[in-house]
């Protein structure tokens, strides 16, 4: 039981330790952050347009 868990974490660390893999992970994380910020900005704009009457 313990041995299997240990090898799993080892394999995971080895997979993520390559420079390409790290770069891909960072890019994915960054894209997620950008996506969240954009969604939040759109939400804020929507709330502003509702709050302030046009004209």
The pLDDT tens digits of the residues spanning 1-39 come to: 566 677 778 877 787 778 888 898 899 999 999 999 999
Domain carrying residue 43:
18-47
Is residue 13 in a domain? Answer: no
Is residue 41 in a domain? Answer: yes
Is residue 43 in a domain? Answer: yes
Is residue 9 in a domain? Answer: no
pLDDT of residue 6: 76
Q: How far apart are CA 49 and CA 41, in angstroms?
A: 12
Q: How far apart are CA 18 and CA 24, in angstroms?
A: 10
Overall number of domains in the chain: 1
* C-beta of residue 16 within 8 angstroms of C-beta of residue 22: yes
User: What pTM did the predictor assign?
Assistant: 0.54
pLDDT at 55 over 60: no
């Amino acid at each position: 039981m313990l041995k299997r868990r240990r090898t799993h974490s080892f394999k995971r660390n080895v997979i993520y330790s390559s420079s390409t893999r790290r770069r891909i992970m960072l890019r994915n994380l960054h894209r997620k952050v950008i996506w969240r910020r954009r969604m939040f900005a759109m939400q804020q704009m929507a709330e502003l347009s509702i709050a302030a009457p046009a004209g």
